[in-house]
Amino acid sequence: MMQRKYQRSFNQIRKIVEDTAGFFSEHEIDDSLRMKVDLSLEELFVNMVTYNTETDSDILIEMKPIEQGIEVSLTDFDVERFDPTMAAEIDIDAPLSERTPGGLGLYLVLKMADSIHYEYRDRKSKITFTNRVTGE
Amino acid sequence: MFKIGLNDNGEVAVSGRLDAAQAEKAQEFLDTVTDNCVLDLQGLEYISSAGLGVLLRTHKRLMGSQSGLELVNVNKHIGDIFRYSGFDKLFVVRAAQ
């Protein structure tokens, strides 16, 4: 189990990637999951940093190995409720003129994760996702 | 380490990890492009929605003047992200050999 807090800055992404690589190595988690985990972690972290601007609290990231994979949680403290699992669908068949970058990140998270769960309690916003080799 | 610049073939070579921390650097470079442009993604290891946004904004701007981006030497992982995003329908995408 890893528990680590990160400042609310995009500059922390590099540190998160390094810590994730270390966790994968330490627990011998299949490296084929790295891209999906890195992507979901970044998108959810960036979403919290960008939209939960009413707090200065660090963001807590937890990782634990599970059978054939990994479970990752991000917790943001003293924020309003925002459930990423309810993010609007993106029409990936829309023509270029109608496409915008907005919303693509959470859409990709929902595509990449094998499971995803949101909970909100005492102004704590926590999102948990899993990726398994067998889920590919 | 993210890098973007012209290669010997006059293409824009992109390498490393194009994430939210590097998107501004990529956008600044691509904002200088004014005509059809080939992006050599052979060295690109990772791209997030922030990087996809840079490609989309640049492509839309260039398409306004009948130009655009062509994405070449795309590896399987990056190709999967393009496919999930529908970018394979918006760009000319050529897989790595």
Domain definitions of chain B by residue range: 3-95
Confirm or reject CATH 3.30.750.24 for domain B3-95, answering yes or no.
Answer: yes
| Confidence check: pLDDT of A135 > 50 | no
Left (φ > 0), alpha (ψ -120 to 50) or beta: where does B32 sit? alpha
Residues 75 through 134 of chain A touching chain B, CB cutoff 8 Å: 90-94, 96-97, 99-101, 104-105, 107-108, 111-112
Residue B86: list chain A partners with CB under 8 A: 90-94, 99
| Rounded CA separation A40/A87 (Å) | 14
Q: What is the ipTM of this complex?
A: 0.93
Q: Identify the domain containing residue A109 by its residue range.
A: 2-135
- Chain A closest CA to B51's CA: distance in Å? 9
List, for chain B, all residue ranges whose pLDDT scores fall below the cut of 70. none
| Rounded CA separation A116/A71 (Å) | 10
- Chain B closest CA to A92's CA: distance in Å? 5
| Rounded CA separation B24/A17 (Å) | 19
Residue A35: strand pairing partners:
none
pLDDT-derived band at A88 (thresholds 50, 70, 90) equals confident
- Quick one: pLDDT at residue A119? 98
**Two tokens at B94?**
């050529």
- Chain A closest CA to B10's CA: distance in Å? 26
Instruction: Tell which residue, A130, A126, A131, A112, has the closest CA to residue A48.
Output: A126
Left (φ > 0), alpha (ψ -120 to 50) or beta: where does B66 sit? left
B29-58 b/e (C-beta count within 10 Å ≥ 16 → b): bbeeeeeebbbbbeebbbbbbbbbbbbbbb
| Rounded CA separation A50/A104 (Å) | 14
| Rounded CA separation B14/A57 (Å) | 34
| Rounded CA separation B80/A51 (Å) | 27
- Select from B25, B47, B48, B58 the residue whose CB has the most chain A CBs within 10 Å, as the one to mutate to test that interface: B48
Q: Which residues contact A116 (CB under 8 A, 6 or more apart)?
A: A84, A85, A109, A110, A127, A128, A129, A130
Contact yes or no for A105 and B50 at CB 8 A:
yes
**Per-residue pLDDT tens for A102-130?**
889 999 999 999 999 999 999 999 999 99
Residue A61's CATH number: 3.30.565.10
Contact yes or no for A13 and B56 at CB 8 A:
no
SS3 A68: coil
**Per-residue pLDDT tens for B7-24?**
999 999 999 999 999 999
- Select from B49, B57, B61, B76 the residue whose CB has the most chain A CBs within 10 Å, as the one to mutate to test that interface: B49
- In this complex, the residue of B17, B48, B89 whose CB is nearest that of residue A105 is B48
Residue A42: list chain B partners with CB under 8 A: 19-20, 48
> Which helix (H) or strand (E) segment is A23 a member of?
helix A13-26
- Greatest alpha-carbon pair distance for chain A in Å reads 46
| Rounded CA separation B72/A25 (Å) | 31
- Quick one: pLDDT at residue A92? 92
Q: How many domains does one find in chain A?
A: 1
